[in-house]
Structure 1
């Protein structure tokens, strides 16, 4: 019997997830068929699956496309990384088809909370979970006043959008850098506060920002497999310079799991923390989706995408996942490298 899982368009890591599932199915000799889809011609992703589909761009066609695909190919599980709010709002229309849906949570309200970094911080604080202090900024005038007031004492400050992904829009205020630093070394993400304010004051409108203290670190990115708030497997990546150290214990590891439980996380998700000057980890944010680095965690021996697929297809129990994650983990050090793959403009595995 073939077990069928459908990976719909995600924000990142779709290739790594496909590879992880393929590896696990082969290792355990399970007959798993992977369907992958995207709205764009991402053949470098879709070609890795057993079957590829092109998603409609028109949102009004999405539900019918899903239901007809599930019926035609007897799909048992669907994972989505993008459009999670839409999918969660349509769970009641999708799951009667027989396919189990994973969106990152079982509640639109939790997806909304995760997307608002200030609301998330306040919620974590209300639960007595240590979190980076966060202030919402709605205007350049407000930001200028807050910077002058020093709300976090002498700690350096940083800003980023209240909603956003990939760290886009993050800047640390640093009065020691050159006025040209943001142009000559943009990847350092450092800028003089006055120049940032001048740019912000020059635009007609601004997206809300979150002002936070910049903590010394290190930063942890904890990738997890959770089911309705219960964490079944997790691997922490401690980031120091170009290297990442894979761990499965420690304060940051435990804090991230407590956050996932509090948010009712469901599926492959990620929590980020950063250490303060005393070495205590504080929550930064939760992403109710796979991280861009989830593929790195396989070097620890724990294949989170593979375990996720086996659970969704009913091939292993929760206890087996817990046991496997504990037994298979080995500490490892990894370094990310840029890579290139061949791109075939024709998909030989495309189905309609």
Structure 2
């Protein structure tokens, strides 16, 4: 409600479906939209990308085709493809059954690294566990934000699941995790910001080896729009690719608060305008605040006043 204009998208009801892509195309045309960042039904929108272009709408849906979105969503296949392209990745094995999980854990452990696991599809790090053999199981209940578990305890719990989750088992990387928010134009990185999290704060900067990993992935997959690349450093401090989210990250606001407004940069790119300098001279630390802030226009709208 803080936006200059907003409206509710139609939804399927009473068993009657509607063509979302057609609706989006007609709405964008009617409202004279010059650029659209797709967040929902992206594959359907990509399928008619040329129609958007003909009507003067620059569509950005994360990738140029649905196959690339699927590849990024299936992290085991994604890892194989990136490794073949010469991009440093963590070894990853998919596991959909208890036997496959046991085998994957053994195979990853055989590489000489520690092992971790997470859902094959997920957000915000939910379901990520670092395996620590011999760890007291009670630490799951006594440690704040615990993400470590004895592998035998995990396997026992997994075996009891009514519907076992589809997982990926990976090498655990001990270094710093970086989130690289990127604006890209059909495979070319045009603006970025790197975020590194620590407790209640994030350090934001531009440039560095993490960005070069992101640049290589974007070029290889011809990514397009506002996307996010995740890396983590290995024992030697080298950034290793974890995954790519072909959509904006929920933390992109931290970058904007630090002085790199990537949504604005993306809008300017879509409209063919000059983006300008988006670099930072030095790292900026942004801390989350628990204070409450008033949004006057949104408050007015909620109370039925004139915005």
TM range (shorter): 0.7 to 0.9
Q: Contact 1:298/1:304 (CA < 8 Å) preserved in 2?
A: yes
Q: Does 1:53 align with 2:7?
A: yes
Match of 1:325 in 2: 278
Tell me how far 1:329 sits from its aligned partner: 4.7
Deviations along 1:246-270, one digit per CA (max 9) or x if unpaired, are: 2222222211221122121111111
Contact kept, 8 Å, 1:138 with 1:206, in 2: the verdict is yes
Q: Secondary structure at the match of 2:7?
A: strand
After TM superposition, give the deviation of residue 286 of structure 1 in Å. Answer: 0.7
Residues 133 and 150, structure 2, Cα contact 8 Å, conserved in 1: yes
Cα distance change on mapping 1:65 and 1:349 into 2, 3 Å: farther
Query: SS state of the match for residue 194, structure 2?
Result: strand
Report if the CA contact (8 A) 2:116-2:128 is conserved.
yes
Distance in 2 between the 1:146 and 1:74 partners? 52
Equivalenced residue count is: 298
Distance 1:144 1:297 in 2: 40
Using the TM superposition, give the Cα deviation of residue 233 of structure 1 relative to its aligned residue in structure 2, in angstroms: 1.0
- Correspondent of 2:23 among 53, 57, 65: 65
- Equivalent position to 2:190, from 198, 221, 232: 232
Tell me which residue corresponds to 1:249: 207
Summarize deviations over 1:127-182 as a string: whole Å, max 9, x none.
Answer: 11111111111211121233345544442211112222222221111235432333
Unaligned runs of at least 5 residues, structure 1: 1-46
CA contact (8 A) 1:52 1:349 kept: no
Question: What is the root-mean-square deviation in Å for CA atoms of aligned residues?
Answer: 2.5
Q: Cα 1:90–1:341, aligned 2, differ >3 Å: closer, same or farther?
A: farther
- Residue number in structure 2 paired with 1:39: none
CA distance in 2, matches of 1:348, 1:68: 30
Matched-pair contact (CA < 8 Å) for 1:224–1:269:
yes
Cα distance in 2, alignment partners of residues 208 and 116 from structure 1: 11
CA contact (8 A) 1:300 1:329 kept: no
**Aligned with residue 161 of structure 1, among 106, 119, 126:** 119
Correspondence 1:123 to 2:81 = yes
Q: Which residue of 1 aligns with 2:288?
A: 336
Q: Is the 8 A contact 1:115 1:164 kept in 2?
A: no
Distance in 2, Cα, partners of 1:174 & 1:308:
42
Distance 1:305 1:66, change over 3 A: same
Secondary structure of the corresponding residue to residue 53 of structure 1: coil
Distance 1:63 1:81, change over 3 A: closer
| Alpha-carbon distance in 1 for matches of 2:30, 2:103 | 59
* Distance in 2, Cα, partners of 1:151 & 1:53: 51
CA pair 204-93 structure 1, distance change in 2 beyond 3 A: farther
Q: Which has the higher contact order (CA 8 A, sep 6+)?
A: 1
TM-score by length of 2: 0.87
Alignment partner of 2:222 out of 264, 269, 284: 264
TM-score by length of 1: 0.77
Pair 348,258 (structure 1): closer, same or farther in 2 beyond 3 Å: farther
- The DSSP-based 3-state class of the residue aligned with 1:198 is helix
In structure 2, C-alpha distance between the alignment counterparts of 1:349 and 1:124, rounded to whole Å: 52
TM superposition shift of 1:292: 1.3
Counterpart position of 1:12: none
Native 8 Å contact 2:186 2:222 kept in 1: yes
Aligned counterpart in structure 2 of residue 202 of structure 1, from 154, 160, 163: 160
Unaligned runs of 5+ in 2: none
